[in-house]
Structure 1
Amino acid sequence: MLLSTYGSRGDVEPLVGLTARLRELGAEVRVCAPPDEDFAQRLAGVGVTLVPVGRSARALAAGAPPASSLPERAAEVIASQFEVVTAAAEGCDVVVATGMMPAAAGGLSVAEKLGIRSVSVTFQQLTLPSPHHRPLAYPGRPFPPEVTDNKVLWDLDAESNNALFGAALNTNRASIGLPPVDNVRDYVIGGRPWLATDPVLDPWRPTPDFDVVQTGAWIVPDHNPLPAGLLAFLDVGTPPVYVGFGSMPMLASADIARVAVDAVRAQGRRVVVARGWADLDLIDDGDDCFVIGEINQQALFPRMAAVVHHGGAGTTTTATRAGAPQVVVPQAADQPYWAGRVADLGIGVAHDGPTPTVESLSAALGTALAAGTHDRAKAVAGEIRTDGTAVAAKLLVDAIG
């Protein structure tokens, strides 16, 4: 089987979980993903060598390209998919395509050319047309503020996908003898897309347009121990607050670490700071703070008084499973959606806007640290499914007999 993606950590980590379960079932797995060292290490941990595709995702994200260059970046992603996935998919029975829309379109086109079964997967429902929610707007292509009808917005979304990705996709398809695609988004979604999210956190409401298969979130059990120094820090005082923003490099301002640490201190709590792609660090030598790098969040989050994060699907799911109250400071894409879900479930707070101040973050933490939020987070944790990768792996193995 070939699992193909291009994007940030949130686009790669679920494939690590699926890969581990597929290998347990005896399947041979190849994974195409960006050539970032941390992605390669995560896949090596489950016994698979990364097949690198395209440029470093971290370098691409850090470049913060203007919206006008998005079609050029997408064309690069699509071309690399055609080049790498075509070779990697030889001999495979199934191609699982996910990640950025142009990457998924490229991977699915390769499967079409090779005559291989394919599955399109998304890790949040906001790319699936529905009368019940709005689509995500692409940078530089905002929806008209006067348009509120979801059907009209989804029609505009299809136009945006075609304008941004259609020419590059069809040029590459023509180069391998495939006919053009007239609706990029609907081509990628297909008739039976998979939604790899938890139904409590991300409840899908069926529509007549396609049959969504919601498998549950894809998370690999992490058995790595926490570092001795961190364990010693955790053991000597009250539970601290975790602050980390994953693969969000735009938070690499001089102030974000200070704002976060000062806000947590204002609540009388200690702090665990995760460096992430924003390269956060300690602001002083106070003994109430501890900085970490790559860490087992599944082991860490249950020991936190609260988790402050960016609202990525994986981090949100892990914190929810851990029963940790959350403060979500959404930055982009689907993160405001996850922030809203956390607030709607009563398991935390959605921060108003992407740039917190000491006052705004401290106020949000005050709510998250309240007893009622803590109790609700513990209750919801027991409702989160843990079998997402098992469900998906069995579906794939059964599909190829």
Structure 2
Amino acid sequence: MRNLHVVIATVGSLGDLFPFLAVGQELRRRGHRVTIATHALHRLPIEQSGLLFADASGMVEPEDRAAFTAQAFHPWRGPRFVVHDVAALDVRDSYQKLLPICADADVLVTSTLAFAAQIIGEQADAEGRLGWLSAVLAPAGFVSAYDPPASGIGWLDRFLRSSPQRGRWLSRIAIRITHPWTAPVRALRRELGLPAQSPLGDPFHRGQHAPRGVLAMFSPLLGEPQPDWPANVTLTGAARYQQAMMPNPALETFLDSGPPPVVFTLGSAAVHANASFLRESAKAAQQLGQRAILLTGSPEMRAQLPHDLPTSILCVDYAAHADLFPRAAVIIHHGGIGTSSEALRSGRPMLVVPHGFDQPDNAARLQRLGVAETLPARRYRADRADRAAALLQQLLTHPHYRNAADLAAREMQNEEGGTVAADVIEKALRI
């Protein structure tokens, strides 16, 4: 096969970027040129991965990251803020920036919120100028009636999972609620002479899926194909990107100096929306007499912790999950799909504290696997017997969590999501 230029357009946090870096590196290894088109704030990790970066967004990095993240993770207004204010309102600027980036592309791969790239993919694929593929990074992205995404509200989730008819009701309600959020996308489509939405449907739902092929880039442990998924979905398995990190002697010394610690992390985004998480985590570890590592996300968040923490607790801004998680006793995390996948691969039990978006659904899936317990962010308190400390003690002492986690890890180690996705991308061109 001739060498291709593959453009991958994604919108979101590092969890929305890293799977595509794994795919991009595999394509680069095969001799293809790969451009990752996304926010300017992701330039450094993309270039560190050896791939080409292209600025595909008019959005500027927020001056107050904590305030921005608090808006994004607000329990009710957060999803609209992200879909409408962050993604849909950027569609015009993004479209103009993407046009020259995609001018010589052979294949375009788009993520859920990459609305401008989806329009370009639809146009260019119809004209035979490139092959358009789309990607979904978590099972919740399909909103299946047969496997409906969990909301974190127990009675409602049980009701929706009881029959496909009730699951279809959820899908209809979700489209009705979110339809106004993508009004800027429909307005641009009309200006370009396109129907207000693609023949497949709403841009945030069915309309995001490419007719040529859809990459479901998550583990089958978390979600299996359903009858109402698009017919052209390939379930690739998790695409794992192992980030190169500078050695951290303090972290290595801590890990080597005692039993496996409890690891607390809210990933790259949610940590800035919940300053109390780190404080409550430190309390829970001290209450149980456990060694602990707190991944603070930034020096600003670390500064909000007490200065007199015991030597049994180490604070680190960031550490590669692939290296750290296998050395943990239990992992407490937010349920982002990337963190969830790496935690599954590590074979360690988890306490999942979802904050928004697909996280309650990922948490429910991990709990059904038997590898995790879940606790809503609003109930994450160390000083209540039925909350964080009690659940941590349960995860540390009951062997069935570890047994289930070991089994899941063995299955995940056979997944090669980056390789499978690269195979599909190579076949995307018309022969």
After TM superposition, the score normalised by the length of structure 1 is 0.88
Match of 1:214 among 235, 240, 243: 235
What secondary structure, in the 3-state scheme, does the structure 1 residue paired with 2:278 have? helix
Q: Any residues of structure 2 matched to 1:72-83 within 5 Å, and which?
A: 72-83=85-96
Residue 286 (structure 1) aligned with residue 314 (structure 2): no
* Amino acid corresponding to residue 128 of structure 1 in structure 2: F
Q: Which residue number in structure 2 is paired with residue 109 of structure 1?
A: 119
Residue 54 (structure 1) aligned with residue 58 (structure 2): yes
CA deviations on 1:337-365 (whole Å, 9 max, x unpaired) are 11112211111211145440103111111
Tell whether the 8 Å contact from 2:302 to 2:317 is kept in structure 1 after alignment. Answer: no
CA spacing shift, 1:96–1:296, aligned 2, 3 Å = same
CA spacing shift, 1:280–1:173, aligned 2, 3 Å = same
Match of 2:137 among 123, 130, 139: 123
* Amino acid corresponding to residue 94 of structure 1 in structure 2: V
Q: Which residue number in structure 2 is paired with residue 84 of structure 1?
A: 97
CA spacing shift, 1:187–1:255, aligned 2, 3 Å = closer
Post-superposition offset of 1:90: 0.9
Residue 374 (structure 1) aligned with residue 402 (structure 2): yes
Match of 1:16 among 21, 25, 28: 21
**Number of aligned residues:** 390
Higher relative contact order (CA 8 A, sep 6+): 2
Of 356-365 and 56-65, deviating more is: 56-65
Post-superposition offset of 1:250: 6.5
* Amino acid corresponding to residue 382 of structure 1 in structure 2: R
Of 211-220 and 75-84, deviating more is: 75-84
Distance 1:255 1:155 in 2: 36
Post-superposition offset of 1:200: 1.3
Q: Which residue number in structure 2 is paired with residue 25 of structure 1?
A: 30
- CA RMSD between the two structures: 2.8
Q: Any residues of structure 2 matched to 1:1-400 within 5 Å, and which?
A: 1-36=6-41, 39-52=42-55, 53-56=57-60, 59=65, 61-62=68-69, 64=71, 71-100=84-113, 103=114, 105-114=115-124, 115-134=129-148, 149-165=166-182, 167-181=183-197, 183-184=201-202, 185-191=205-211, 192-207=213-228, 210-222=231-243, 224=245, 226-249=247-270, 252-276=273-297, 279-280=301-302, 282-283=305-306, 284-358=308-382, 359=384, 360-370=387-397, 371-384=399-412, 385-400=414-429
What secondary structure, in the 3-state scheme, does the structure 1 residue paired with 2:36 have? strand
Post-superposition offset of 1:261: 0.8
Tell whether the 8 Å contact from 2:271 to 2:296 is kept in structure 1 after alignment. Answer: no
Post-superposition offset of 1:170: 2.5
Of 304-313 and 257-266, deviating more is: 257-266
Post-superposition offset of 1:155: 2.0
Post-superposition offset of 1:334: 0.9
Which ranges of structure 2 fall in alignment gaps of 5 or more residues?
A: 1-5
CA spacing shift, 1:266–1:72, aligned 2, 3 Å = closer
Distance 1:99 1:399 in 2: 19
CA spacing shift, 1:51–1:268, aligned 2, 3 Å = same
Distance 1:63 1:266 in 2: 28
Post-superposition offset of 1:322: 0.8
Distance 1:259 1:221 in 2: 29
What secondary structure, in the 3-state scheme, does the structure 2 residue paired with 1:7 have? coil
* Amino acid corresponding to residue 237 of structure 1 in structure 2: G
After TM superposition, the score normalised by the length of structure 2 is 0.82
What secondary structure, in the 3-state scheme, does the structure 2 residue paired with 1:108 have? helix
Tell whether the 8 Å contact from 1:226 to 1:300 is kept in structure 2 after alignment. Answer: no
Post-superposition offset of 1:61: 3.9
Of 357-366 and 106-115, deviating more is: 106-115
CA deviations on 1:289-312 (whole Å, 9 max, x unpaired) are 111123211111111111111000
Tell whether the 8 Å contact from 1:248 to 1:310 is kept in structure 2 after alignment. Answer: no
Tell whether the 8 Å contact from 1:135 to 1:153 is kept in structure 2 after alignment. Answer: no
Distance 2:229 2:278 in 1: 46
What secondary structure, in the 3-state scheme, does the structure 2 residue paired with 1:75 have? helix
* Amino acid corresponding to residue 111 of structure 1 in structure 2: G
Tell whether the 8 Å contact from 1:128 to 1:189 is kept in structure 2 after alignment. Answer: no
Which ranges of structure 1 fall in alignment gaps of 5 or more residues?
A: none
Distance 1:380 1:388 in 2: 16
